[in-house]
Structure 1
Amino acid sequence: MASIRDIAKMAGVSAASVSRILNNDETFSINENTRKRVIDIANKMNYSKEKNKHGSRSTGDEQTIALVVRHSAESELDDPYFRYIRRGIEKEAEKWRLRVLRVFRMRDKEKDWEQLSKYGAVVMVGEMTQDAVEKAYSFNQKLILVDTYTNYSQYDCIQTDFADKTHEILDTLYQNGHRRFAFIGGLASKVAIDGQVVRYKEEVRAENFQEWIKLNNLEDCAAVYQGSWSTESGVALAKEMLAADPLPTAVVVASDPMAVGVYRAINDAGLRIPADISIVSFDDIDIAQYMTPALSSVRMNAEEMGCLAVRLAKERMLEERIMPIRVICSTELKLRESVKKIIEAVD
């Protein structure tokens, strides 16, 4: 149940103004649209003068955003991407005096789905199977999907532009003379209702790498290597790549932690970056610019993705919008010392 301060924050007016409006102060002069907005928000947030007359501030479930995440506690600690999304969610929610409660992780075997119905909105972070998304929606239609690349047109969805950015990376490498390419990345996965992880090869970066290769008629000059998302997997996949003949002159890596492993394998093989092989990655974690040579990487603002999720949830909670929307978050390619311009025969 909302307080006067909560309503004021949501409406963008002072607490004193909300108090005078809700108490029907006839001497208070204010724009009629503002008056109506305050009353509408109070109704939607279940404000009660009786329950607030002693000045207590209640934090009812209708002002809480339920958070459902697909990743484990360990991966949230290890991967800054998920930490930044969550930090953005919590920061934006605090701004609007909303609560955030992680109700369960998708990998939990036991999940209380019914509890989703009592919250103001639900934010799901990461790829879930269609039946899992539909089940969440059946209990709460104010559903926001974050970092989901399946084409769920009926839900609010926040994505990165990794598909287009993969093409941009390859265009840049091609313009720098590269004609032999490799991709190293992790398998895509979704979490099912029962918590089981379903893995498959059609990861967004890998798919768009192959699409670009096909569009440029370079199928005989490219290879894809996929495994887990760990640094160790980056080492193993890079060793597999280095056994090929001829070697690629440029490698696209799906994440910076994997790129650390690729660096290790290339150095262990006595090859040099970028003299022998250029590398571009995704994430642009803090260490990327301090690697030797500095790693070229795609920078994303994961925290802003979390902030956007709360803004979309707020619109749903206040019924300001009923049409589902898809937000594509732009990323930035940071070219550093790991990419070299080479001279090859002109096509």
Structure 2
Amino acid sequence: MPRQNVTLEHIAAAAGVSQMTVSRALASKPGVSRDKRDEILRIAAELGYVGHRAEQRSSDRRSQIVGLITAELHNPFIGELVAGVGRAARPAGYELLVYSLVEHDQPPLLSVLKLMQQVTAGIIALLPYEYRYLDALVAARVPVITVDQHGQYSRFPSIAADSYAGACMAMRHLIAQGHRRIAFITGNEHMASAQDRHRGYLDMLAQAGLPQDPALVVPGHYAKAEGYAAAQTLLALPERPTALFAANDMSALGALQAIRDAGLRIPDDVSVVGFDDIPAAEQQHPPLTTVRQPMQQMGRSAVNTLLALIAGLEAASPQIVLPTELVVRGSTAPPRRVTA
């Protein structure tokens, strides 16, 4: 069915409700439960409903504002992404409106979504953990690009770095140096990047014929404090690992501190590899070996893809995956003794 021919009647029939209920749900008016509203928005998005507001916008001059929704701003990785978005948007004549989610597992307030719908030409969603709100934006015909999520929410065009290949490079580096007991500090397993890095860790162990010891895999949640606690747990094992691979640099920085606090030396006693290459990675003593993500390039690619959608074009690719590279610094070295 052509999108311009989809009416409230079609949505109501598909949802099993009245046209009045559909109208109230699409307008975010009271009187419709959240679950039913989410279902109606999803059906409207799947049918390609345009609606009065979108038709009105198409005849007006497009807003020159790009919206960005992110889980947090204090994370250096996200800060670099946001910088990349801003540097690409402004030369194209767009300003940036940023909203940070207070609770990672909760959607933005309806008032925020309405503001985004009214004043932005499109939305870039950075690493959110709760995605249902995107249906409301799609139903309002607001173009949406996601960053990092290229699995579960593949119906949205996405930008990501090659986390799996990067994890494989990190593990090959440690294995080539002679490490056989390698621990992994996981990321936030709700996210595709964390899942890919975990998979790379396991696959490289299998490829090298090394055992997969569950005791060597500890959650880090992409955070420094959790990385510190994870490293403490690993160092307390009867046979501690000779190397740690952390799913991101922030958890790696926490691990570095835990190793120092335990009176151990880096890399003489324990080697450490991170992931991201945030500015603080090079400022450590010793500097952190890590996998570099093209963070600002990811932001620029997100803007370029979004601008194509705003112009009514198809995305060049539904999933753009940018390459990663291993940056070897002073935090890794061969183990003093190789454990079986």
Q: TM-score scaled to structure 2, two decimals?
A: 0.71
The offset of 1:341, in angstroms, is: 2.4
In structure 2, C-alpha distance between the alignment counterparts of 1:291 and 1:346, rounded to whole Å: 27
Paired position in structure 2 for 1:331 = 324
Larger radius of gyration: 1
Moved more, 226-235 or 311-320: 226-235
Query: In structure 2, do the counterparts of structure 1 residues 304 and 138 end up closer, same or farther at CA, with 3 Å as the change threshold?
Result: same
Partner of 2:188: 187
Comparing 78-87 with 208-217, which one deviates more in the overlay?
208-217
Question: Residue in 1 aligned with 2:53?
Answer: none
- The one-character-per-residue Cα deviations of 1:231-251 (angstroms, maximum 9, x if unpaired) are 222222111101112221111
Change (3 A) 1:153 1:258: closer
- What is the CA–CA distance in structure 2 between the aligned matches of 1:96 and 1:285, rounded to whole Å? 26
CA RMSD of aligned residues (A): 3.0
Q: Does 1:265 align with 2:258?
A: yes
Q: Which residue of 2 aligns with 1:63?
A: 64
The answer to whether the 8 A contact 1:155-1:324 is kept is: no
Equivalent residue pairs, number: 278
1:100 is aligned to 96
| Structure-2 separation of matches of 1:227 and 1:86 | 23
2:67 touches 2:98 (CA, 8 Å); kept in 1?
yes
Distance change in 2, residues 1:289/1:106 (3 Å)? closer
> Quick one: structure 1 residues 332 and 322, their matched pair in 2 at CA, closer, same or farther if it must change by over 3 Å?
closer
1:122–1:106 distance in 2 versus 1, CA, 3 Å: farther
**Any residues of structure 2 matched to 1:1-347 within 5 Å, and which?**
61-71=62-72, 76=73, 78-102=74-98, 105=101, 107=103, 110-112=109-111, 113-118=113-118, 119-140=120-141, 142-189=143-190, 203-221=195-213, 223-321=216-314, 325-342=318-335
Alpha-carbon distance in structure 2 between the residues aligned to 1:217 and 1:341:
18
Contact 2:117 2:140 in 1 (8 A): yes
Work out the percentage of aligned pairs sharing the same amino acid: 24
Q: TM-score, normalised by structure 1?
A: 0.70
SS at match of 2:257: helix
Give me the whole-angstrom Cα distance separating, in 1, the residues matched to 2:80 and 2:176. Answer: 33
Q: Match for 2:78: what amino acid? A: F
Task: Say if 1:188 and 1:203, in contact at 8 Å, map to a contact too.
Answer: yes
Deviation at 1:271, TM superposition (A): 2.0
Change (3 A) 1:322 1:103: same
Gap regions ≥5 residues in structure 2: 1-56
Which ranges of structure 1 fall in alignment gaps of 5 or more residues?
1-43, 48-59, 191-199
